[in-house]
Amino acid sequence: MFLTLTADDSVQERNHTSMMTSIYFIIILVSFFLAGTYILSFFGVSIFALRIAGGIVIMMSGFALLNGNTTKKRIGDKVRQEAINKEDVSFTPMAMPMLSGPGSISLLIGYFSEYQTIESRGIIAAIIVFTGIIIYFILRSSPLLFRLLGQSGLKAVARIMGFIVLAIGVEYIISGVVGLVSDLTSNTAM
């Protein structure tokens, strides 16, 4: 997707887009990580419902990776064409929804409620920043990676990652269902 959207850009423009995409990715995910619980409480959504819905979204992403439908399913043809004609694609569609979509946002909101200590939350925020740095280097070296792996190599990596993402989604759904059942049974016992 990144190579398609930046096909006519110079190396410097592509590097700038890589940097801005990474920065936007970090800002979006850290913001939702820190404020997501408050947003949920405003709308009256339980953390268990978020985990189940987030697990379903993550599973769908995993299925898409397994089937090789990564960009087709995430953004439509109209959005893709608009992005190609845009001057700057770093915020949308690259940072959001491609890199920081509903699955990662729901996962981070769940982590915020699960990990209560400042140290744990600091580590998660640091991991988001570290992931943003890795994304920068991957996007920046994407032409080289494409030449090394080729289309079939990228598809193989995507399928392996799809299986892992699918397992994460299943785990997240199980966590949400178990938490919901536990919460319901403890409330009815009172």
Q: Count the domains in the chain.
A: 1
Place of tokens 């959005």: 79
Mean pLDDT of 162-172: 88
Model confidence at 59: pLDDT above 60:
yes
Mean pLDDT of 7-31: 93
Q: Is this structure's pTM higher than 0.95?
A: no
Radius of gyration for the chain, computed over Cα atoms and rounded to the nearest angstrom:
18
**Start-to-end CA span in the chain (Å):** 53
pLDDT of residue 73: 45
Mean pLDDT of the chain: 85
3-state SS, residue 150:
helix
The 3 state secondary structure assigned to 59-89 is HHHHHHHHHCCHHHHHCCHHHHHHHHHCCCC
Model confidence at 77: pLDDT above 70:
no
Model confidence at 10: pLDDT above 80:
yes
Closest CA to 131 of 30, 2, 11, 41: 30
Can you tell me the distance from the alpha carbon of 92 to that of 113, in angstroms, rounded to the nearest whole number? 28
pLDDT of residue 76: 58
Domain of residue 119 covers: 2-189
Give the pLDDT confidence of 86-120 residue by residue, as tens digits. 668 888 888 888 888 888 888 899 899 889 999 99
Can you tell me the distance from the alpha carbon of 113 to that of 185, in angstroms, rounded to the nearest whole number? 20
Residue 58 is given by DSSP the state H
Model confidence at 81: pLDDT above 70:
no
Model confidence at 80: pLDDT above 80:
no
CB-based contacts of 121: which residues, under 8 Å, 6+ apart?
A: 33, 112, 115
Can you tell me the distance from the alpha carbon of 182 to that of 91, in angstroms, rounded to the nearest whole number? 40
Query: 190: buried, middle or exposed (CB in 10 Å: 19+, 13-18, 0-12)?
Result: exposed
Higher pLDDT, 19 or 92: 19
Model confidence at 72: pLDDT above 60:
no
CB-based contacts of 51: which residues, under 8 Å, 6+ apart?
A: 106, 110, 172, 173, 175, 176, 179
